[in-house]
Amino acid sequence: MKKALVLVTALLLITFSTLAALHFFSAKPPVGLLEQTHRDIAAARESEARAYELALITEAEKLYELAQEELRKENEKLFFTRDYKAVIDLAHRASSKASEAVDKTNSRKLELSTNQKARIEEVREKLAHFEQYYANLPLNKRARQDYTTAKLKFLESEKAYDRQAYLVVENNLNEAKKLISKSVTAAHNHLSDYFSNLPNWKRWVDETISWSLKNNATAIVVDKFAHKCYVYHDGKLVREFDAELGPNWIGDKNYRGDKATPEGKYHVTKLKTGKNTIYYKALLINYPNDEDKARYRQNVRNGKVPNRGPGNLIEIHGGGGRGVNWTDGCVALSNDDMDKLWRYVSVGTPVTIVGSTRSLQEINGH
């Protein structure tokens, strides 16, 4: 009996010792490695890899999930039969993909930062060009809307760039560039079409100055694009005043109420002061002349303008100096300038109103 007890005890000791040895030398789950892999993937997400390198970060996440799945499978086996090599391999590959995603994301950000800095300046210059040459012109509604939206997108791009949101910058900047380019093209085409009348304008001005020289008399030339009222005497320029016009001053006056300032060769028909005018002093001109009336009738027949009449009571009058185009189609000077102009004019003084005395190329340099 005693021998049997000793034998059993010995067998138990051998069994426990064997199991202890097996447990000591058995494979351990790579918990630390998996935790590091999780941190690597978190760092990749933090770097915005999902936005810049979606394929890499997605692959890293899948490899990490496979590693966790393999871990669970191995943990379900007897401890001395477990093998974590596949888990370790998957975890290393996941970390590698996550690190690659971080590197490529940072590289892509640096590339975008450099490129976008130059592109922001490019769009800024386009906006400045539009603002210098076109922003104050009565352009069509679409061109102005495109410009306004382009300006908003550009400002959003600048703010996004400051907070390093480069993908937002990219989208807004592309939209801003497209819209401002459309606005510039529309404005340029509009002006190019308008300035096709330049030969007529120059001829009218030459004829007016020649008349002044021939008759040793005063003549007035209004340059709408320059917003200037020029006074010639004996064929020489003697005075120059700032002028304000109707809001829709690009183009000829077509009908009553269109807020456009007419273009053509006219003359003063009446000098108005005191109770005869609400604008300090005024020079009434003979708009509409026969050409204006004929053009209006033709446009009505063609359905180009409403049948409201060609309008009348176009004057050079005081009340100006407001810095905006505000009249119903008249030419407004400051009251001081009206006093100076008054000394030169009389009934019959020629008044020639043109779109411009200079070409578009002379005005904007290209």
151-187 pLDDT per residue, tens: 999 999 999 999 999 999 999 999 999 999 999 888 8
- The pLDDT of residue 134 is 84
From the centroid of its chain, how far is CA 23? Answer: 71
DSSP string across 98-119? HHHHHHHHHHHHHHHHHHHHHH
Report how far residue 316's alpha carbon sits from residue 282's, in angstroms, rounded to the nearest whole number: 6
Torsion sign over Cα 247, 251, 253, 256: negative
C-beta atoms surrounding 180 within 10 Å:
24
Torsion sign over Cα 151, 156, 159, 160: negative
- The pLDDT of residue 12 is 75
- The pLDDT of residue 366 is 56
Q: Are strands 350-354 and 315-317 parallel, antiparallel or unpaired?
A: unpaired
Half-sphere exposure of 157 (CA within 13 A, CB side): 26
Report how far residue 251's alpha carbon sits from residue 329's, in angstroms, rounded to the nearest whole number: 11
Report how far residue 202's alpha carbon sits from residue 208's, in angstroms, rounded to the nearest whole number: 10
Q: Are 49 and 102 in contact (CB under 8 A)?
A: yes
Q: Are strands 331-332 and 236-242 parallel, antiparallel or unpaired?
A: unpaired
User: Among 208, 209, 215, 201, which Cα is nearest to 363's?
Assistant: 201
> If you count DSSP H runs as helices and E runs as strands, how many of each does the chain have, helices first?
11, 8
Report how far residue 38's alpha carbon sits from residue 15's, in angstroms, rounded to the nearest whole number: 39
Q: Are 330 and 222 in contact (CB under 8 A)?
A: no
From the centroid of its chain, how far is CA 9? Answer: 90
Q: How far apart are the first and last CA of the chain?
A: 119
Beta bridge partners of 265: 352
Give the 3-state secondary structure of residue 315: strand
Report how far residue 350's alpha carbon sits from residue 365's, in angstroms, rounded to the nearest whole number: 31
Q: Are 328 and 244 in contact (CB under 8 A)?
A: no
Residues (pLDDT < 70) of the chain are 1, 19, 21-23, 25, 365-366
Report how far residue 229's alpha carbon sits from residue 316's, in angstroms, rounded to the nearest whole number: 9
Report how far residue 147's alpha carbon sits from residue 338's, in angstroms, rounded to the nearest whole number: 37
Token digits of residue 179: 């819209």
DSSP string across 157-192? HHHHHHTT-HHHHHHHHHHHHHHHHHHHHHHHHHHH
Q: What is the pTM of this model?
A: 0.69
